Amino acid sequence: MTINFTMSDEQKKLQYEVRAFAENVLKPVVAVADAEPDPLKGFQLTKPAYVEAYKAGIAMCMLPAQYGGGGVSCVDLVIAAEEICVVDPGFACTVLCNGLGLMPVAWYGSEEQKERFLRAATSDPTGEYLGGWTASEPPGNPSGTANFDIPLPRPAGVGLTAVRDGDDFVVNGRKYWPSSAGWDEQGVNSGTLIVRTDSEKGGTEGLSALVLERGTPGVTYRHLDKVGHRLASNAEIVFTDARIPAANLLPGAEANGDLVINRNFAWSGPVAAIAAVGMARAAYEMALEFAHGNTAGAVRPIIGFQNVGYVLGDVASKIEMGRYFSWRAADYLDKHDQHAELVGAMNKIQVTELMFDCVYKCMQIVGVNSLETKNGFGKILREAAVLPIYDGGNMGMQRRRVHGLLADPMFNPRAIMEDDYVKFEKHHEAIDTVVG
């Protein structure tokens, strides 16, 4: 029996259709939108392409089919995501955040909540519907998000509080970096919000998840200006006595907001990894074309020199490695009820960091000409630099999750090789969160 790495006819069709969208619909707007000095206007310039993606079934492809979504597998999602990420991973992030914001509803929500929120997300006649994932908080002392599962009460850990008051939660505090401010700095249509429902308990007991809806009184948004992923919306969100209905509490996430964060960033790990593959692929194809057409003052094109050929050969090999690891991690998600807290983290860490190096190696092959804006390498480098840092930072929660599992005396080091389910539980959290 063989291990099959061949895409099915349906997957090839999906790849072709998404590639056609990326090249024919998205690519024409990317350069102008990325160069727009006003970050919100730049994001808004992608709206027509997003509407086309929505109508084509791309924007909500990851949501369950029974609620109107595409119901695609994680492997299919990764195959499709690569084609968009080659053109612009920021736009791909907008689509990904539909999943980050709404998959927790599918995982932890009641049937009524699934019908209410997922059905609305998949049946918007305007095609403008956005989902949002709101977990990260501003830096400070104490503040930030990497140590969200620290086993200490406030002020350590997540600071956004949600206090029950009758039929509502009264929410106060700030979030920073979440997606998104929406098309008009009034917020996305709906999405998952991580809150502290018990300030006397640590992060493994005191966090929950609410669905935050557009138009909630007491919530203000400010679109952030960024170096990379400029075509994705990230925001500072301020909550001032905002009232969110208690009916928006995801029942499976009550006192389990920590597990929502870990599962979500494991689910998105292969997508972030394949985004890095897409960036490296774009840089590699440009560098290879350059090497075939430029002599650098020699007699023949530089592709004939050993150093150029060896470096590009290494880059091509690493891209294949990154792609197959991403497929493997996505396949693991599909086999294990969309849980891959270990494999998803390992995939995201290693591939995003490896592909960043590949992008820079391609720039070295092209030389000083890679620095000219019109040649496109600068944008690729900016985008590639984002990937190891965002979506659960590699030097924050991602490596810590791996560490937590490996430190378990019962951990089986051959589990991934044998395709066994590695269950991530609360006792795997909080490692490395308390200095000394």
Q: Enumerate the domain spans of the chain.
A: 9-122, 132-254, 268-428
Instruction: Please determine, for residue 38, whether its predicted confidence score (pLDDT) is greater than 80.
Output: yes
Do the beta carbons of residue 150 and residue 207 sit within 8 Å?
no
Encoded amino acid at 183, one letter: W
pLDDT band for position 179 (cuts 50, 70, 90): confident
CA distance 74 to 217: 36
Do the beta carbons of residue 173 and residue 221 sit within 8 Å?
no
Could you tell me the end-to-end alpha-carbon distance of the chain, in angstroms, rounded to an integer? 51
Q: Is 4 helix (H, G, I), strand (E, B) or coil?
A: coil
Instruction: Please determine, for residue 182, whether its predicted confidence score (pLDDT) is greater than 70.
Output: yes
CATH number of 9-122: 1.10.540.10
Q: Is 7 helix (H, G, I), strand (E, B) or coil?
A: coil
Fold of 132-254: Butyryl-CoA Dehydrogenase, subunit A; domain 2 (2.40.110)
Q: Work out the average pLDDT over 11-27.
A: 97
Q: Work out the average pLDDT over 263-276.
A: 97
* Contacts by 1-8, CB closer than 8 A, 24 or more apart: 5/324, 5/327, 7/79
Q: Check residue 436 and give its pLDDT.
A: 67
Q: Check residue 141 and give its pLDDT.
A: 83
| CB proximity list for 119: less than 8 A, separation 6 or greater | 67, 68
Q: Is 134 helix (H, G, I), strand (E, B) or coil?
A: strand
Tokens representing residue 243 in the block: 């009232």
Tokens representing residue 59 in the block: 């924007």
Question: What pLDDT, in 10s, does the model give residues 285-304?
Answer: 999 999 999 999 999 999 99
Mean pLDDT computed over every residue of the chain: 96
Q: Which CATH architecture has domain 268-428?
A: Up-down Bundle (1.20)
Tokens representing residue 270 in the block: 């292969």
